Each structure stands twice: as structure tokens, then as C-alpha cells.
Amino acid sequence: MFERELEVAISLARKAGDCIMEFYEKGFQVHQKILKNDFVEPVTEADKTAGEIIVSGLKEIFPEDGILSEEAEDNPERLSKQRVWIIDPIDGTKGFVEKAKDFAVHIGLAYQDRPVVGVVYQPALRRLFFASEGKGAFLSENESPPQRLHVSEKDEFEEMTLVTSRLHRSPKISEIFNRLNFKNQIAHGSVGLKIGLIAEGKADVYIHLSPHTKFWDTCAPQAILEEAGGVLTDLFGEKIKYNLSDTQNYNGILATSRKVHQKLTDKLRPILAELGRFKIESRRN
């Protein structure tokens, strides 16, 4: 149903990735942008140029669709659209700035309030995760034939690997790791690449406590994870709706397999309460 959309998203992700790697090799200036509650994030010319490549390409091919991009002003007209492209030109800009390789291009398509197409491209390693609704999730490395992805079948926490943020790790994550008795943990950059590890079956759970992620961090990865047999919700098991004016994921992220999602949500809820991580009721249409 979304074959053409996926094809275009893959092409634009690769094109943007090539542009990003040119900046990666030749150098770039870093600026700071101040978000809500004085939260500060880096931004570079690579973010902005890659964003322009993706947005202009989508506008040319799908002129009737809405667009929400991290590096562009939000146009409220998107709220009247059934289809909205949600873009993060560089997810993991801090990793890009420090010349690590764990950053990615995100291009997602939301239909009404749910993700239906997702592309997460790691240009430094030429790893391309992609999915469209009802067609499965895949990974292509170095432009090799795509391999079908499926989440792990593990159902005991003692066997599971938790993937955590390499650069934004909360001390409370260590408490959750110990309380749930996970077996291992992997530290990685980029929300999309962490969720990609779950889609590959290399990790089992991602818990993000911060209220600072946005729709462009989760839309594309969610489409991929769900087609690989996983689930992405907020920390409290509630669905993230992508057709709202406020784009912030106030209630964090919980990503795992469909098999253990409810069990994990139930176990996590009292721990979150003890840690003072309560549900935030501040999102509005």
C-alpha cells in the first residue's frame, strides 16, 4: 500500500546521508538551540542541509502531504492532513558532533495518528532499516540484499538485554536494570538505532525516562519495530498519537517485543512511581 512512499523515503535518506557524511569528513560548526525548560541541544549545518534535502524531495513528490521536521518551522496545516511525514535529519547529533558513528537519518510517514512507513539510515556504517505497514521490517547493510527482521522471542527478564543511551543515560536506569534483573545492557546513541537493535533481536528492551524526545525521534523507528513484531509506547503503555500539535513525548518511551510488552509495563509501573517518574498530563490537541 505504501510501496512508493517507502521507495522515496529510502532514496532521500541515502541522499541526505551522503550529504551528512561530507560534513562529517570536512568539518562543521556547532551551534546550540534552546528548547522547552531551557533544555539545550546541538545543531549543525549538516542537520539543516540534510533536512532541506528531505523536505524539498517530499514536497516535490507528495505535495499534498503534511511535513513535520526537527529543523524546520512547524506548519499547523499538518494537523488537517491525513498523511504527515515526520523527519529527523540527524538523530543523535551529539554523536555526530563527537565523530562517533551512532547517528541516523529518520524519515517516517504517519497516517492519521499512527506510523505506517519508517526509514532509519546510519550513513557512517551504511546500515538501512526500513518498513511499511503490513510488509515487514528489513535491514540492508552496505546496500546488500535486505534481511527480514524479527524481535527476540525471550520472555524472561533475566535473559534480556536492555539498550540504554550512551550520552543521555539517567542514573535511574541503573536502578531499573537492577530491579528487573536484566542480564545485559548495551549503551548506544540515536533513538532509532537503539530501537533498530531490538528489531534485529540484538537487544530486547529500551526504556527512555526523559520527557524531551519528540515525534521525529520515534515515528520512523516505531514503524520498523512494529513490523518486526515489537511495540513502542510511552512508559505507561499508552499509544503515542502523531496527529497532535504538541510534538513532545512527555511520558518517555518503552520499546520491546509484543510478547512481553504488557508484562514489562506492569512490572515497570510501581518502580517508576518509587523513582518519582509519574505520568505527565500536559499534552493537548
Tens digit of each residue's pLDDT (9 = 90 or more) over 135-182: 999 999 999 999 999 999 999 999 999 999 987 778 899 999 999 999
Read off the amino acid at residue 14: R
Among all chains, which residue has been given the C-alpha cell 539517567?
170
Of all residues in the chain, the percent with pLDDT exceeding 70 is 97
Confidence of residue 40 (pLDDT cuts 50, 70, 90): confident
Q: What is the pLDDT of residue 35?
A: 66
Assess whether pLDDT exceeds 90 at residue 231.
yes
Instruction: Compute the residue count for the chain.
Output: 285
Question: What residue spans define the domains of the chain?
Answer: 3-148, 157-274
Average pLDDT, the chain: 95
> What's the pTM?
0.96
Confidence of residue 281 (pLDDT cuts 50, 70, 90): confident
What is the number of H-type helices and E-type strands within the chain? 7, 14
Residue 76 vs residues 81, 86, 201: alpha-carbon distances, Å = 10, 13, 38
6, 132 contact by CB (below 8 A): yes
Q: What is the pLDDT of residue 41?
A: 80
163, 194 contact by CB (below 8 A): yes
Among all chains, which residue has been given the C-alpha cell 536492555?
162
Dist. CA 164–CA 191, nearest whole Å? 9
pLDDT tens figures, 86-114? 999 999 999 999 999 999 999 999 999 99
* CATH topology for the 157-274 domain: D-Maltodextrin-Binding Protein; domain 2 (3.40.190)
Dist. CA 189–CA 101, nearest whole Å? 9
Pairing of strands 40-44, 83-91: unpaired
102, 123 contact by CB (below 8 A): no
Nearest to 88 by CA among 140, 124, 46, 128: 46
Assess whether pLDDT exceeds 80 at residue 34.
no
Q: What is the pLDDT of residue 192?
A: 98
Confidence of residue 42 (pLDDT cuts 50, 70, 90): confident
Homologous superfamily of 3-148: Fructose-1,6-Bisphosphatase, subunit A, domain 1 (3.30.540.10)
Assess whether pLDDT exceeds 70 at residue 266.
yes
Q: What is the CA radius of gyration of the chain?
A: 18
Dist. CA 9–CA 107, nearest whole Å? 6
pLDDT tens figures, 59-77? 999 999 999 999 999 999 9
Q: What is the pLDDT of residue 52?
A: 98
